[in-house]
Structure 1
Amino acid sequence: MSDWNETQRTGFGSVPRAGGDVAGVAYDQGLRKHMLSIYNYMASGVLWTGIVAILFSWGGMESPAASLALNGGILFWAVKLAPLAFILAMSFGLHKMSQTTLQIVFWSFATVMGLSLSTIFLVYTGESIAVTFFATAGAFAGLSLFGYTTKKDMSGFGSFLIMGVIGLIIASVINIFLQSEAMAFVISGIGVLVFAALTAYDTQRLKREYQHVRGTDFAGKAVIMGATSLYLDFVNMFMFLLQFLGSRE
């Protein structure tokens, strides 16, 4: 992964306070501004994804989303897999891209995610989707606040959580062929727990990362990549929760 993501593994440590209280206050203000920028980007991305999903599924079984799902084929899989391609492009092309290019890729990613997620409006009722969304938003806010304020160093959980995500992907692919409801239920439960933990972990990681990127040309890119991490945590937690709370049409 990119170098900016690796800096957080150098140790928890304490926030530098060179110059006394004035420097400390300036650091805290800069940190709050940095994190607020991340949350604004993340929330705007989620909102835009939702708008695209609603518009693409407008009309129910007569919508473009229904046509895409029913026809299947290359276009269907292209839409489903495109978000992964954008994430890989952002991760591996991070240092080659300008901040403006990275912004364009982020919004393109959020748009394609909206197309990919639009089919949930054909499967679940709008009311249950809304309930799940607000439940996810509440849980995300609480978990992110915990990650921001806790004194416990969560860096040791990183490898474990990444393994959990890989395990979820493998299990989900296997269940495409097995079509086991029991296995789907277990995957959803584990998925909620993994991405709940990732929300707290990523928040703390991004908070600590600030001391490495503040005052550098990379700070703007770090905001976009941080927003992408939290965006993925939110969307994945929402999708797994929907398996429990969603009422089918």
Structure 2
Amino acid sequence: MANWSDPQSTAAPYATAAGTRDSAAYDAGLRSYMLSVYNYMASGVLLSGIVALLFAWGGEQSVAYSVFANGGPLVWLIVLSPLAIVFAMSFGQNKMSTGTLQILFWSFAVLMGLSLSTLLLRYTGTSVAQAFFATAAGFVALSLYGYTTKRDLTAFGSFLIIGVVGLLVAMIINIFTQSTTLSLIISIGGVLIFAGLTAYDTQRIKSMYQYVAGTDMVGKVVIMSALSLYLDFINMFQFLLALMGTSRD
């Protein structure tokens, strides 16, 4: 999950900065802000999906099959570039313009599409479609919960972030053990963790609006928020596909 500098430490809440809060204007601004986040996130997922389909078109005769079957530096570039962009955006966004972050976000979505094309070669089209629509339905429900709930999910989110670290450790261990049981546990755990993070991140993104409303930080926060939700969605999708997908072999 992508993290960035929390504006809460340097900016006053909207109500304090303005002296008084116009409830209707604030609510309208919040809806516009959240809609922008979801539009960016959904557009990024769509772009990745289109790129993945085009790259994997033709199965064993596809460009994706040729690239990943032969291995080499290009494979590592495709796999590691999205991670590099996430780190660059997360740690450098304070020094970057909104335009630069937009370019990086769309570049990230394209590179993720290239990487995700391997899923279309590994699993049947029906499995991919089922996992995608199941993820989409779950994401909408969980994000809606995170947006509407009055419960503070901060402590829950901290626990989930620790869970992500544990998940990464388990995945590294399983590279060497190749345990079917551990793979199953990782898939189930991954789905649950990123499902929870979807609700947590939505609440966090919503709460940040009061600190950036009316400032030039809004554009940056929208892009970084979309990146965070994109990562929640894609990770939940991949773990769910690993859990319920049917291999082509």
TM-score (norm 1): 0.93
Residue number in structure 2 paired with 1:41? 40
Counterpart position of 2:69? 70
Matched, 1:103 2:102: yes
- The structure-2 alpha-carbon separation of the partners of 1:103 and 1:234, relative to structure 1 and needing over 3 Å to count, comes to same
1:74, 1:170 → 2: CA distance? 25
Question: SS at 1:118's partner residue?
Answer: helix
CA drift at 1:19: 3.9
Looking at structure 2, the residues matched to 136 and 88 of structure 1 have their Cα atoms a distance apart, in angstroms, of: 25
State the match for 2:152 in structure 1: 153
For 2:173 and 2:66, the matched residues in 1 are separated by 26
> Bigger CA drift: 57-66 or 68-77?
68-77
Q: Is the 8 A contact 1:80 1:116 kept in 2?
A: yes
Separation (CA, whole Å) in 2 of partners of 1:60 and 1:244: 22
**1 CA distance for matches of 2:214 and 2:147?**
21
Distance 2:15 2:204 in 1: 13
Q: Which runs of 5+ in 1 are unaligned?
A: none
**How many angstroms does 1:18 deviate by?**
5.8
Runs of 4+ more than 2 Å apart: 1-4, 13-20
CA-to-partner distance for each residue in 1:137-170, whole Å, 9 max, x for gaps? 0000000000000000001123211111111112
Does structure 1 conserve the Cα–Cα contact (< 8 Å) formed by 2:56 and 2:63?
A: yes
Q: Is the 8 A contact 2:101 2:220 kept in 1?
A: yes
Contact 2:163 2:193 in 1 (8 A): yes
Paired residues in the alignment total 243
Q: CA–CA distance in 1 between the matches of 2:178 and 2:88?
A: 32
Q: Does 1:180 align with 2:182?
A: no
Distance across 2 between alignment mates of 1:158 and 1:117: 27
Unaligned runs of 5+ residues in structure 2 are none
Distance 1:204 1:14, change over 3 A: farther
Does the 8 Å CA contact 1:18/1:24 hold for their aligned counterparts?
A: no
**Do the aligned partners of 2:4 and 2:224 also contact (CA within 8 Å) in 1?**
no
Q: Which runs of structure 2 are paired with 1:53-202 in the superposition (5 Å)?
A: 53-202=52-201
**Residues of 2 paired with 1:39 and 1:192: CA distance?**
21
Are the counterparts in 1 of residues 89 and 104 from structure 2 also a CA contact under 8 Å?
A: yes
In the alignment, what sits opposite 1:7?
Answer: 8
